[in-house]
Amino acid sequence: MPDSDAMPVVDVTDLRKRYGRVEALSGLTMTVNPGELFGFLGPNGAGKTTTVKLLLGLARPSGGGGRVLGAPLGDREARRRIGYLPELFRYQPWLRATEVLRLHADLMGLPAAGRRKAFDDVLGLVGLSDRASHSVGGFSKGMQQRLGLGVALVGDPALVILDEPTSALDPIGRMDVRAILRHARDRGAAVFLNSHLLTEVEQVCDRIAIVDRGRVVAEGSLDSVLGESATRIRVDGLAPAGLAELVRFGEPRFDGQELVFPGLPDERIPDVVVALVGMGVRVRAVASGRESLEERFLELVGRSRAGAVA
Ligand SMILES: Nc1ncnc2c1ncn2[C@@H]1O[C@H](COP(=O)(O)OP(=O)(O)OP(=O)(O)O)[C@@H](O)[C@H]1O
Ligand SMILES: [Mg+2]
């Protein structure tokens, strides 16, 4: 019996999915580890929801395969240990919030004992305690999404898959969701977060994959995907000889307007500026930091598309 603590929660290789002439997934490979908050990012139509459907066994791959919670894709027992909030969530309007949870608990095969407390806990977590016995028909869209999040968390699933969980939520709701996701992770669940809200992913995820046109174009920790920080200095009048002198500070790149020093320690910035001014170069702006996830995302997706066209 393999050690389930060390085994990846999701491990898929070369997944393919074709819908008629559209290739939604064209060789998608990725790994999600236990206890990880994993962000799955990509532009519209990249294949995020299709991936989720394959992980849940709601659709069959046209090629490739893999395992979820140690079982082959689509395994019914593994499915019971996965909580899921779909992209397009809708609940029967005549059901009360607790009845929605009960239906789901039945599907998961959750024992009757302890259900009441589990429902109370989950409704408290998603901020719907005072609506427990209200029918869903009277819920706002955001309240329905909160309930959906509760459904995905009930019964302490080992893997929680959320497809755009904050699409209907206001900024407060989004902040609440970040806290809820961390809470689920801290209880030992792996969380698979499908999103195109980059700031959201940047704030909570341990690791990310960026998907475009059905394949992963980058995967790793946020640090490894974003790369190290760099100092950017906008200058006028820097000659090649001057640039050559600057190598004593690192490995600068220069595009004619902006000098980029990857990994330059902050305390060396004044020295670089003094050196530039000493050469008669005009320094117009200095900024330090790493690229935002948004910049990196646009760069990676742009590069993947340029490759596809070539
Ligand atoms: N049931 C389906 N029938 C036909 N084509 C489909 C089906 N589901 C998805 N596709 C196609 O597969 C591609 C990927 O769609 P998918 O829904 O996985 O994208 P997504 O990354 O979730 O996008 P979004 O951010 O807009 O939700 C798209 O070109 C889409 O039109
Ligand atoms: Mg989608």
Per-residue pLDDT reduced to its tens digit, 148-158: 999 999 999 99
Mutation probe of ligand 1 site: the residue of 15, 17, 22, 44 with most atoms within 8 A of C-beta: 22
Query: How many domains is the chain built from?
Result: 2
Task: Identify the CATH number of the domain in which residue 262 sits.
Answer: 3.30.70.980
Look at residues 204, 159, 203 and name the one whose alpha carbon lies nearest to residue 31.
Answer: 159
Instruction: Label residue 290 by pLDDT band (50, 70, 90).
Output: confident
pLDDT of residue 209: 96
Q: What is the pLDDT of residue 5?
A: 64
Q: Which residues contact 223 (CB under 8 A, 6 or more apart)?
A: none
- At residue 240, the pLDDT reads 93
The pLDDT value given to residue 310: 41
Integer Cα distance of 143 and 139 in angstroms: 6
Answer whether residue 3 shows pLDDT above 70: no
pTM for this prediction? 0.84
Nearest-CA residue for atom 13 of ligand 1: 24
pLDDT given at position 4: 55
Q: Indicate if 143 and 264 belong to the same structural domain.
A: no
CATH code for position 140? 3.40.50.300
125 & 249 share domain: no
Q: Three-state SS for 11? A: strand
Q: Separation of 198 CA from ligand 1 center, angstroms?
A: 20
Last residue of a domain, one of 203, 222, 241: 222
The pLDDT tens digits for 183-237 are 999 999 999 999 888 888 888 999 999 999 999 999 999 888 887 788 999 999 9
The helix/strand/coil state of 181 is: helix
Residue located nearest, by CA, to atom 6 of ligand 1:
19
Q: Are residues 174 and 277 in the same domain?
A: no
Residues within 5 Å of ion ligand 2 by Cβ? Answer: 48-49, 87
The residue whose CA has the least distance to atom 4 of ligand 1 is: 19
Which residues form the pocket of ligand 1, taking CB atoms under 6 Å from any ligand atom?
19, 22, 24, 42, 44-50, 87, 196
Q: What is the rounded average pLDDT of the residues 9-30?
A: 97
Residue nearest to atom 17 of ligand 1 (CA): 49
Alpha carbon distances (Å) from 252 to 39, 189, 243, 299: 32, 43, 8, 20
Full domain range(s) for residue 153: 10-222
Whether the per-residue pLDDT at 29 is higher than 50: the answer is: yes
Instruction: Tell which residue, 176, 180, 173, 130, has the closest CA to residue 153.
Output: 180
Looking at the fold, whether 54 and 158 belong to one and the same domain comes out as yes
DSSP 269: H
Residue 75 is assigned to a structural domain of this protein: yes
Query: Cβ of 237: how many Cβ atoms within 10 Å?
Result: 11
